[in-house]
Amino acid sequence: MDSLGTRIRKLRKERKLTLEALAGDRLTKGMLSQIENDKAKPSMESLEYIAERLEVKASELLEQVTPSSLRQLLEQLEILFAELKTGDTDNAQQIVEMMKPYVEELPLSYEGGRILYIYAAAQYFAGLTTWESPLQEARFMFKEINLLSHWFETYILQLGILSENRKYKMAYSCILQAKEEAEQENYQLDSRDAGKMAYYICVFQVAIGELEAGKQLINETITYAHKNQFYYYIDDMYRIGAFCAMIDNDFEQAEHMLKKLEQYRIFVEQVDVDAFIFGLRAHYYNSYTHDYHQALAEIERFGAIMHEDSIKLDKNFYYSEKGKSLYLLGRYEEAKEAFEHFTNIPSFIVHPFDILGINECFSYKALCYAHFGELTTAYEIAKMAYMDSKDLIDLPYKQKIEETYYSIKAQINSVQ
């Protein structure tokens, strides 16, 4: 961290002043040189004189981090943070190291809070477990200076981290804590943040198995969104609402939600929403209505747009449902070929509904390999899906996943 003398020297050089010019008629060149080299401390009167000639406040010279340097630091960090990708631990660690000298002396300001927020996120991306403390500090700062949207963003980051680690109950407690604090402190959240809060509450309600409360809140939140013309996350709410209806075998409600999602797609004209719809309908026909021909048709519609730059979903979504459709149609060779491209659950998939749905597809992949007598491979796939699903909430998918695992395990045991 720069000393007082170093800060004075930097500012003098930035303003292209010589020692004599800065010293003026109130200080000697030698005294100013000693101050800059930290061999002498200026009196308060001398400090105010130096600050006046440098066109800054004396308090800025005394601060460990000046507002101007803080802004410059934040500008650099925002660029680096925007380029940070999941799994990029080396660059995340570089950001952490870059910020370490500053985080202990940050002022109560937007810049201070934002730097702490980035510091917390970078620590998590770097694989460190110390992210929570700076995030709490950022939350406190934003609360104290009444930047409520930024205050709420600290909760959203925490929810994302907890979700990635499948700590759904903790995430639910976290969002309820935010709601309780907002109510107790009478925070006036804007309609967008209020909608986001409701969205996260219902998402985690259904994630932990409180399906009835979650479904009710989804419907209320959708109504609120339309009333306030707030459409952030609306496509995801329709999607989760459709999932809930499918699980209940309420196909009328499932169709209603799917049609609402299609109407939303027309409104926003986003190709990635098309992909969600095609993939979700394929899943609906495969797992619930058992119309495998229609499922295959829907997933091929997804395949036709899969390589467009705007599509967020990766190839695993396409090949998982395609392989399942072909297997259920008895087209085993084609199913196996599709399943060979279905290798993992994408890293951004964190909700148990999605995880279980994809693991069910892995079970069909295992059955496909078992059909060709490749029992060892089939068992490893079935076991992976089973172990990955066992701690999640009980949904119909788990029954298929468990049945497949134990069935293939029994086949393995019978030939040993």
Which DSSP string corresponds to 290-319? --HHHHHHHHHHHHHHTTSTT--S-HHHHH
Task: Answer yes or no: are the C-beta atoms of 120 and 131 closer than 8 Å.
Answer: yes
Domain 4-62 sits in CATH at 1.10.260.40
pLDDT at 311: 56
| Predicted model pTM | 0.80
Handedness of CA 285, 237, 312, 94 (dihedral sign): negative
pLDDT one-digit tens code per residue, 283-310: 999 999 999 999 999 999 988 887 766 5
Please measure the distance between the N-terminal and C-terminal CA atoms of the chain and give it in whole angstroms: 67
pLDDT one-digit tens code per residue, 106-160: 888 999 999 999 999 999 999 999 999 999 999 999 999 999 999 999 999 999 9
pLDDT one-digit tens code per residue, 56-102: 887 677 665 667 778 888 999 999 999 988 788 999 999 999 888 78
Q: Which residue has the tokens 């949207």?
A: 149
Angle at the Cα of 335 from the Cα atoms of 279 and 288, rounded to 5 degrees: 45
pLDDT at 271: 63
Number of Cβ atoms within 10 Å of the Cβ of 185: 10
- Coil, strand, or helix at residue 161? helix
Question: Token pair of 305, please?
Answer: 């747009």
C-alpha closest to that of 67 among 109, 98, 12? 109
Type of residue found at 113: G
- Distance CA(371)–CA(327), nearest Å, equals 10
Each domain of the chain, given as residue ranges in start order, spans 4-62, 344-416
